[in-house]
Amino acid sequence: AAERVADLHAMFVNPEVKAIIAAIGGDHSNQMLPLIDFDLIRDNPTIFMGYSDVTVLNVALHVGAGLVTFNGPALITDFAEYPEMFAYTEDAFRRTVMVTEPAGPLLAAPWWTDEQLDWGQKLDLTRPRQQQPSPGWHWLKPGQAEGALVGGCFGSMEHLRGTRWWPDFDGALLFLESSEDCSGPAELDARLMDYENMGVLDQINGLLIGRPYHFDDAAKAQLRQIILERTAAYTFPIISDMDFGHTAPQFLLPLGVRGRIDSEAQTFSLLEAAVAG
């Protein structure tokens, strides 16, 4: 962990480093948290992006250093896509990270994939992953809402509960998605109940759920029903099956940047620039 943190610090203080993008996820980013110099990072703001286990760092750097971090594509899983990066993901990256204007409305991708081609056997270099037509996002509960974005991978958020890096959800748009470690809809039912018991659902202005990884259509439908049951006492708008997280392609969600849900117009928009000029 000390070596990883030293590398992280070195990247943040190096003026030639314009962005720090995770290669992939994992399960041990939490080992780094006690060793990170958050003042150093606050004084040297740099684009920081990843998803899955990198959720831990995304949220901690946002809470501890006030950094706008990005839930978004990783090097191995997205930038190294064969034969080239998916155009939807590349466009989202350029619109969110490479300009000093708000990304504005984000559109649903026309297709998706969660096919896993074995990297060890180099099967990912033999053909593109199979693409499935997308029915679009599911607008589960109507309404209009604005708030600062916060969230990440369900399982990785668990590493932050009870720590000083657990975020403030007051007035937020909470986004959550599941990884390959998720056992199914019942597990997410329990996790959503945790958020209710912790009072998080009382605080947020809206809920965004990423397309679940390796769920068949029946499991996805079951999850949508679970979400409606778990949020029956609340009136905030909800969108599910969105293009972020462990399926591809994906858009970027900058933590701390304000977003807007509008079910009548069926739009989700980023209202603020995520990077400074």
Convert the pLDDT of each residue in 103-133 to its tens digit: 999 999 999 999 999 988 999 999 999 999 9
Residue keyed to tokens 């998803």: 51
* CA–CA distance, 275 with 277 (Å, rounded to integer): 7
Looking at residue 115, what is its pLDDT?
95
Q: What is the mean pLDDT of the chain?
A: 97
* CA–CA distance, 181 with 245 (Å, rounded to integer): 13
* CA–CA distance, 4 with 152 (Å, rounded to integer): 21
Token readout for 24 is: 């992939």
2-270 has CATH 3.30.200.20 classification: no
As a whole number, mean pLDDT of residues 132-143 equals 98
Q: What pTM was computed for the model?
A: 0.97
**Is 277's pLDDT higher than 80?**
no
pLDDT digits (tens, 9 = 90+) for 218-274: 999 999 999 999 999 999 999 999 999 999 999 999 999 999 999 999 999 999 999
